[in-house]
Structure 1
């Protein structure tokens, strides 16, 4: 690997860490970069996954104020993300390349649509809960299994995992998008982390790539937290939609 390639991979990690903290889909920057420099696809996928973990952790730390008062929610949803991440990592290792990727564009577009409709859907969920006398200070019952399924997707590939998580949390959890974004960063870090542990044990990892992406992603994660927290709700929602549509297009044509 030449010095120029190393610098470009680190810069890709910085950009990915920033985007992942604000929305998600940073993988769409780092993964094609690694492929362009000749890293084999599976090695690129697993090395990229491990390398982005420090950035997700940095993003979660940057959102620590928004995590206040959410300990029980985070702990509960973490179990779903961890289980899903394990399942997704195993699927990556045992399934043919195209077996799961056929549904990825559909999942991303579904996430985008749900984010667009989030205010109306969240209000509808609250009305339904009120009609049934359900306490809407708690999360919707389907939030946990939906987070688990998102974890499966994230453990397998991860592009636009944040878009899907924000759709689930925005509708199923009665709180601001910024507070949901803080939870999203923790859950994404958990998925990438547990999948990364499995990849370290059984897959071919390029540790030079991991180090370069990880270094850039940490800086990007802290930067992304500053940017993301400054966005008003409508701007954050618009950013999620734009990134989701970009991810959909890149995967569809790729």
Structure 2
């Protein structure tokens, strides 16, 4: 890796960390950058996953105020993210590298629809909660949805934050910024779990990792995650929802191009 390549990867990491903190889909910056520099897709995917973990952690740390009082919610939903991430990572290591290419754009589009119609659906969900009792953790359907998102995140991960924030916003009656903090924490669980599995397989010679790319993305995404958290926590819900939709549409275009 020459100096220009290193600068490009680091800059992509900063951008991805900021995007992941505010919305999600930062992998749509770093992953294409690595592929454009000549890395094989699976190597780029795994190296990108490892590099973004510190950024996920820094983003969750930046939202620590919003995460206060949500320990039980994080434990319950975090278990779904952990199990899903393991399944997704195993699929990545055992299935063809482009097996999810036709599924990913559809998942993102569904997530964007959920974000757009969230206020109306949230009102409907609130009425059902008043009839059937309040579920601060979203119930079994949300747990299943978070599990499925973890599978997707463990396999590829781009735009998993958009899917998560869409699911959380509809299933849980809470402030969008608090849910964004939960999204960041769950994304950290997914990427961290997958990363541990990838490292374990790499240690036994079962896969390839470019550690220079991991280091540069890790440094960049950590900085971007902290900066993104400072900006994202000050964005009004309506504007944040608009940012989510725009980034999601860009993600779909990138994936289909």
Aligned match of 1:252 in 235, 253, 256? 256
Structure 1 CA distance for aligned equivalents of residues 38 and 123 of structure 2: 48
**Range 39-48 or range 139-148, more displaced:** 139-148
Structure 2 CA distance for aligned equivalents of residues 72 and 138 of structure 1: 8
Matches within 5 A, 1:41-56: 41-56=41-56
1:33-72 CA distances to partner (integer Å, 9 max, x unpaired)? 1111111111000000000000000000000000011000
Query: Who is 1:90 aligned against?
Result: 90
Q: State whether residues 130 and 136 of structure 1, in contact with CA within 8 Å, keep that contact through their aligned partners in structure 2.
A: no
Matches within 5 A, 1:1-254: 1-132=1-132, 134-202=133-201, 203-253=207-257
1:168-207 CA distances to partner (integer Å, 9 max, x unpaired)? 1001111011000000000001100010111112221111
Q: State whether residues 59 and 225 of structure 1, in contact with CA within 8 Å, keep that contact through their aligned partners in structure 2.
A: yes
Q: State whether residues 73 and 136 of structure 2, in contact with CA within 8 Å, keep that contact through their aligned partners in structure 1.
A: no
Q: State whether residues 41 and 97 of structure 2, in contact with CA within 8 Å, keep that contact through their aligned partners in structure 1.
A: no
Query: Who is 2:204 aligned against?
Result: none
CA RMSD of aligned residues (A): 1.0
Q: Any unmatched runs of 5+ in structure 2?
A: 202-206
**Range 121-130 or range 62-71, more displaced:** 121-130
Q: State whether residues 74 and 182 of structure 2, in contact with CA within 8 Å, keep that contact through their aligned partners in structure 1.
A: yes
1:68-93 CA distances to partner (integer Å, 9 max, x unpaired)? 11000001111000000000001111
Q: State whether residues 76 and 137 of structure 2, in contact with CA within 8 Å, keep that contact through their aligned partners in structure 1.
A: no
- TM-score normalised according to structure 1 size: 0.97
**Structure 1 residues 173 and 207 mapped into 2: Cα distance closer, same or farther (>3 Å)?**
same
Q: CA deviation at 1:135?
A: 2.0
SS at match of 2:87: helix
Q: CA deviation at 1:99?
A: 2.4
Q: State whether residues 20 and 26 of structure 2, in contact with CA within 8 Å, keep that contact through their aligned partners in structure 1.
A: yes
Q: CA deviation at 1:137?
A: 4.2
Q: CA deviation at 1:250?
A: 0.9
Q: State whether residues 140 and 173 of structure 1, in contact with CA within 8 Å, keep that contact through their aligned partners in structure 2.
A: no
- TM-score normalised according to structure 2 size: 0.96
SS at match of 1:99: coil
